[in-house]
Amino acid sequence: MEKDAKIYVAGHRGLVGSAIVRKLRAEGYTNLLLRTRAELDLTRQMEVEAFFAAERPAYVFLAAAKVGGILANDTYGGDFIRDNLLIQTHIIEAARRTNVQKLLFLGSSCIYPKFAPQPMPEDCLLTGILEPTNEPYAVAKIAGLTMVKAYRKQYGFNGISLMPTNLYGPGDNFDLTSSHVLAALLRKFHEAKLTNAPTVTVWGTGKPRREFLHVDDLADAALFLMQHYEDDKPINVGVGEDISIGELAMLIRDIVGYAGDIVYDTAKPDGTPRKLLDVSRLHALGWRAQIHLREGIAATYTWYCAHHGR
């Protein structure tokens, strides 16, 4: 990408979008198109079409999405499938109509089958049932990457799809009703430390295993793949290692400095037993994650204390 090319980062205030903006600016890209939801409602087709017609970006990072943890997904499935279908459909179609040079679509590792082989290769997509608690979100994301692939075939549209693993980092959502597990645990342990609470409750058994990628690593991978990846097949982006929720809870407890006990609420759902991505294709291209989990969580906790901590 040319350093002065118009680059639209959809969702620039979110966890992923803000990291992509930081990365682009650090690399010297100077012509970024950024709009808040108040300025541009991506669920409104006419607004999206008018924006693309007026600005005509050369490149698009489609990081805008309605996202959340297991509780939010399970409770507001209708919102998740509606908003994500609208956002991605409007942007991809407007990008095609205005001859965007290249678009990067961000999927999610939750689109893989609930009982997918581990680690999960890209070709296991649509080979089994989805995790019921996030099925609406997963179906929307599957539709998005299928749309990108179909547009490549029919229109010659230059779009690529990334499937990142679980993300965390500065700018994460720490709302306990809608956050993902790492951010939720970080907040829980922090508040328990402040109040000297004797225990912290963790949902489920603690046995499910998850892979966690720092969002700055994802942003680095996104820029790398925008520059070097041209396949119509989605590509996994992760670290290639996972950790149990119980181990994660103990790691966060240690980083936060909480001295109490961990209690598991086994009446709450575990979700998918394991989600580890096969990142062999990404490694073969020459990209690997650089931020280790303990280092990344410690930095995220420092950010949380500066922005949300009491």
CB atoms within 10 A of CB 148: 24
pLDDT tens figures, 88-99: 999 999 999 999
Choose, from 112, 137, 168, 301, the residue flagged as catalytic.
137
The answer on pLDDT for 76 being more than 80 is yes
Model confidence at 154: pLDDT above 70: yes
User: Average pLDDT over the chain, rounded to whole?
Assistant: 95
- Residue 247's pLDDT band (boundaries 50, 70, 90)? very high
Distance CA 51, CA 191 (A): 42
Q: Can you tell me which residue has the tokens 């931020």?
A: 291
Per the listing, tokens 């017609």 go with 53
Q: Is 5 exposed, middle or buried (0-12, 13-18, 19+ CB in 10 A)?
A: middle
Q: Which residues are annotated as a binding site for substrate?
A: 188, 203, 210, 270
- Supply 138's token pair: 């997963």
Mean pLDDT of 122-150: 95
Please report, in range form, the residues annotated as the binding site for NADP(+): 11-17, 106-109, 141, 164-167, 180
Instruction: Determine whether 137 is an active site residue.
Output: yes
Q: What percent of the chain has pLDDT over 70?
A: 99
DSSP string, 63-97: -------HHHHHH-HHHHHHHHHHHHHHHHHHHHH
In the chain, the domains with their CATH numbers are 7-169+212-241+276-291 (3.40.50.720)
pLDDT, average across residues 106-124: 94
Strands (DSSP E) contained in the chain are: 7-10, 32-33, 59-62, 102-106, 159-164, 166-168, 199-203, 209-210, 212-214, 235-237, 243-244, 261-265, 274-275
The pLDDT of residue 15: 94
Cis peptide before 136 (omega within 30 of 0): no
Q: Which residues are annotated as a binding site?
A: 11-17, 106-109, 141, 164-167, 180, 188, 203, 210, 270
Question: What pLDDT is stored for residue 179 in this prediction?
Answer: 80
For the entire predicted model, the pTM comes to 0.94
